[in-house]
Amino acid sequence: MVNIGVLKTLIGRKIPCPKNYVLTAMVLFIWLLAPSLVAEGATSLNQDNPLVVQIFAGREQFAGSLADQLNAGPTYGLCVAFEPWSFLGIEMGYSGSVTQLKKSPPGNLDLNRDGLYLAITPGFTFSVTKNLSLKPYLLGGIGLDSFSVHDRAPAAGFTAETDGSIPFGGGLELRMQPVVLNARFNAVYEFGPAFNPFNPEPIHFQGMVSFGTAFDPFAARTKGAAPDSGSASSADARAQDQPWIVEIFGGVEGFSGSLASKFNVGPSYSLAVSYERWQFLGIETGYSGSVLRLKTSPPGNTDVDRDAAYLAITPGFTFALNRANSIQLKPYLLTGIGLDAFTAHDNGPTAGYTNQNDGFVPFGVGLELRVDRVELNARFYGSYEFGAPFNTFDPNPLRYQGMFGLGAAF
């Protein structure tokens, strides 16, 4: 599970309140409350058609000092959501908007925003009838926003930048199989390089409605005869019996590019909780940390350490290796989003390193071996850092990790 000490560390540093309290509250909601409050009738409805594709449209407005500079403008988006449970959905998609300066003539397109995001939507799903369900939900996640400037925006001080974003809010989903209708209101906190001279970390609000459809992309594959032991579908059945996995990882971590000449490879470690109900997809959240020493420092120095919380998905294929289905092998991909807190010690500050909180995007591959309830894992992945740089050499460094894990399924 997410390390509470790390969350306190992140909150105590430079990350503003919206980012921390919303994400922390949602993590606690998911792991502690939601499983015990499932509406059983609605669960089967979501499981029958767990994949939802939606188109959003609405209005967007900046808050604070930017509200005096920019008019409200149209916002739009396309998302794909995975909702196999009544209490939790996972959503990723595209979000965009067009905003006009208040001093600009009608028709000007001064500021464009294009973004990608990954979010979770914990809530309660209620069955109204057999084919009708209602879900009030919260929304929180992380993403990337790319701002581009046109017309009068450059002269007003706006610049093209790519920022990290933290969306948080709530909504109401109405599902009438296979039609899905959605209404939501959310705020988005922007962090990273400032695209405007008025507010370096602005918040903008969005009110949106959507139309979509729900379906089961695996219905055709799984329809028919029952799986025999030793097949991938048989492994899926076993994963449903023991879907939760708790693992401890250990390995090494280093940087590429210009930082590779500054830092030695150092130890990396993590604690992860995974939910793998299906043989083709896992969901993982946890804590990750590392200790790095400058090449110019004496042995024993801890010049920069990293503490992080992350959320990832692990799509892959699970194969049963014996007829008893007690041994399974799963090659998988890994990707997601997270928050890193870098702390400079010893020679780190004098070498130009500072305490900063960055977003990061992990991507890599792994191999998972399950023997009864014992889980063995090996993975290699890189992580792209974005946001305020903790060093003066590379504002967006790429670090890599090689890790081995040991855990238990239940």
Q: What tokens were used for 274?
A: 């995974």
Same domain for 265 and 152, yes or no, is no
Confidence grade of residue 161 (pLDDT, cut at 50, 70, 90): confident
Instruction: Give me the helices (H) in 184-323, please.
Output: 219-222, 232-241
CA–CA–CA angle 266, 315, 408 (5° rounding): 65
Mean pLDDT value across residues 330-343: 91
Which amino acid, residue 26?
Answer: M
Residue 327: half-sphere exposure toward Cβ, Cα within 13 Å: 3
Confidence grade of residue 302 (pLDDT, cut at 50, 70, 90): confident
Confidence grade of residue 185 (pLDDT, cut at 50, 70, 90): very high
- What's this model's pTM, rounded to 2 decimal places? 0.53
Mean pLDDT value across residues 336-344: 90
**CATH number where 116 lies:** 2.40.160.20
Question: In this structure, is the dihedral angle defined by the CA atoms of residues 116, 80, 207 and 31, taken in order, positive or negative?
Answer: negative
Q: pLDDT (tens digit, 9 = 90+) per residue, 242-255?
A: 788 999 999 999 99
Task: Pick the last residue of a domain from 169, 186, 215.
Answer: 215
Confidence grade of residue 388 (pLDDT, cut at 50, 70, 90): confident
- Cβ–Cβ under 8 Å, residues 176 and 188: no
Same domain for 269 and 378, yes or no, is yes
Tell me whether strands 126-129 and 111-120 are parallel, antiparallel or unpaired: unpaired
More confident residue, 324 or 296: 296
Residue 42 has pLDDT above 80, yes or no: no
Same domain for 184 and 325, yes or no, is no
Mean pLDDT value across residues 159-187: 91
Same domain for 369 and 229, yes or no, is yes
Same domain for 234 and 148, yes or no, is no
Whether 5 is in a domain gets the answer no
What does the alpha-carbon distance between residue 327 and residue 203 come to, in Å, rounded to a whole number? 49
pLDDT score recorded for residue 19: 42
Q: pLDDT (tens digit, 9 = 90+) per residue, 88-133?
A: 888 988 999 999 999 888 878 889 999 989 899 999 988 888 888 8
pLDDT score recorded for residue 39: 44
Q: How many domains, the chain?
A: 2
In which domain, by residue range, is 317 found?
225-409
Of 10, 62, 24, the C-alpha closest to 140 is 24
